[in-house]
């Protein structure tokens, strides 16, 4: 694996899940792998789980870790090619990413969407600029459109809690929120679940349809109660409009899940990526109930990140590219 920005970077999802579960049994087993290697974690937005789990994952592999909240601690970055930088932007991504790439063997980056310009957000300008200019393997810590480390940990969690024969019914349901949130977690969860044998149903009110590029193959429903019938796992998440981009629509029905509504499921496990606004997105009784997997999902972020870093370290991409650069310089 060279980069980890989408499920399409993964050769075999089942194998990667298996790897994460093995690492969970013995997290220190590959401490030698990252010796002398450095992971840089670059945040343009806040984080609790992604930051700490990825840092711990790298430490378990013996890596050094540097973390920078570039939005607060770095120079204001320019992303436009050919920009005349006579305004508030101080450093071009070309220079910043190239410099970071010389300090790090792998770079993780978190870059949320602005939710104002669909074309710009879905072009993944920030992530792709970073990948182009840093010249080392990049791990997405959540980009404008996807959150692959979260979805991978979610699948690890589902795997751990599915002990029956056949495929589980997994329902991704929209939940209320007080503000517009990205579609990244929902897009990504759909994309990853569709790579498994699970039956995926996505339930949302009118106006909250996700981009079909990520949901093709899922059953789309507008009635939450019907969607929940017989569900084995219910993944709860808010997202803003995709068609009317970044918009919040008025929803008359009650989409806040509680024990009563969950009674029509197959005693389903409840999932959420966190952070969660309690009793707005999801009720206390479900979050604190016996079927809640939310803390286990967060715990599995560690082993998911460790499996990804281990695969990238195993590729020796950086060592080879450094050697070639050095040789090219020497003969010029």
Number of residues binding to ligand CP, judged by CB under 6 A: 9
Cα 273 versus chain centre, distance: 9
Burial of residue 276 (number of CB atoms within 10 Å: 0-12, 13-18, 19+): middle
CB of 124 vs ligand CP, minimal distance in Å: 17
Q: Is 295 near ligand CP (CB under 6 A)?
A: no
Q: Is 274 near ligand CP (CB under 6 A)?
A: yes
CB of 72 vs ligand CP, minimal distance in Å: 16
Between 110 and 261, CB nearer to ligand CP = 110
Between 148 and 241, CB nearer to ligand CP = 148
Contact 231, 266 (CB under 8 A): yes
Q: Is 276 near ligand CP (CB under 6 A)?
A: no
Q: Which residues touch 106 (CB under 8 Å, ≥6 apart)?
A: 37, 38, 39, 40, 63, 136, 137, 138, 139, 309, 312, 313, 318
**Position among 47, 238, 283, 306 found at the interface with ligand CP (CB under 6 A):** 47
> In the chain, what is the straight-line distance between the N-terminal and C-terminal CA atoms, in Å?
31
Q: Is 48 near ligand CP (CB under 6 A)?
A: yes
Q: Is 178 near ligand CP (CB under 6 A)?
A: no
- The contact pattern for ligand CP, residues 102-141, with x = CB under 6 A and - = no contact, is ----------------------------------------
Tokens 């197959």 sit at which residue? 266
CB of 286 vs ligand CP, minimal distance in Å: 17
- The contact pattern for ligand CP, residues 135-154, with x = CB under 6 A and - = no contact, is -------x-------x----
Between 129 and 150, CB nearer to ligand CP = 150
Q: Which residue is nearest to ligand CP (CB)?
A: 50
CA distance 295 to 291: 11
Q: Is 294 near ligand CP (CB under 6 A)?
A: no
- In our burial notation (b when 16+ CB lie closer than 10 A, e otherwise), range 36-60 reads ebbbbbbbbeebebbbebbbbbbbb
Task: Select the span of 57-65, 130-138, 209-217, 272-280 touching ligand CP (CB under 6 A).
Answer: 272-280
Contact 294, 257 (CB under 8 A): no
Q: Is 49 near ligand CP (CB under 6 A)?
A: yes
CA distance 37 to 68: 17
| Residues of this chain that bind ligand CP (CB under 6 A) | 47-50, 142, 150, 273-275
């Amino acid at each position: 694996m060279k980069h980890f920005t989408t499920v399409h970077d993964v050769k075999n999802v089942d194998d990667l899940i298996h790897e994460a579960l093995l690492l969970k049994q013995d997290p220190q087993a590959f401490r030698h792998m990252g010796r002398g290697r450095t992971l840089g974690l670059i945040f343009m937005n806040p984080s609790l789980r992604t930051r700490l789990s990825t840092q711990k994952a790298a430490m378990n592999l013996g890596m050094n870790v540097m973390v920078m909240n570039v939005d607060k601690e770095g120079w204001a970055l320019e992303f436009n090619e050919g920009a005349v930088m006579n305004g508030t932007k101080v450093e071009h991504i070309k220079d910043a990413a190239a410099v970071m790439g010389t300090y790090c063997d792998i770079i993780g980056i978190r870059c949320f969407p602005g939710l104002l310009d669909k074309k710009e957000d879905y072009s993944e300008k920030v992530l792709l600029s970073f990948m182009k200019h840093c010249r080392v393997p990049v791990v997405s810590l959540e980009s404008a459109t996807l959150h692959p480390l979260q979805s991978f940990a979610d699948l690890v969690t589902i795997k751990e809690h599915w002990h029956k024969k056949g495929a589980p019914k997994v329902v991704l349901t929209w939940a209320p929120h007080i503000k517009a949130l990205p579609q990244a977690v929902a897009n990504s969860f759909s994309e990853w679940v569709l790579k498994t044998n699970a039956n995926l149903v996505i339930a949302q009110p009118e106006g909250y349809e996700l981009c079909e590029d990520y949901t093709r193959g899922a059953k789309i429903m507008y009635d939450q109660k019907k969607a929940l019938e017989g569900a084995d796992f219910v993944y709860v998440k808010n997202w803003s409009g995709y068609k009317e981009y970044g918009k919040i629509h008025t929803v008359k029905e009650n989409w806040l899940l509680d024990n009563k509504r969950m009674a029509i499921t197959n005693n389903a496990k409840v999932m959420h990526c966190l952070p969660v606004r309690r009793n707005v997105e999801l009720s206390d009784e479900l979050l604190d109930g016996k079927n809640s997997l939310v803390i286990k999902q967060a715990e599995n972020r560690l082993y998911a990140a460790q499996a990804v870093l281990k695969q990238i370290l195993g590729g020796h991409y950086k060592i080879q590219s450094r050697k070639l650069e050095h040789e090219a310089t020497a003969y010029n």
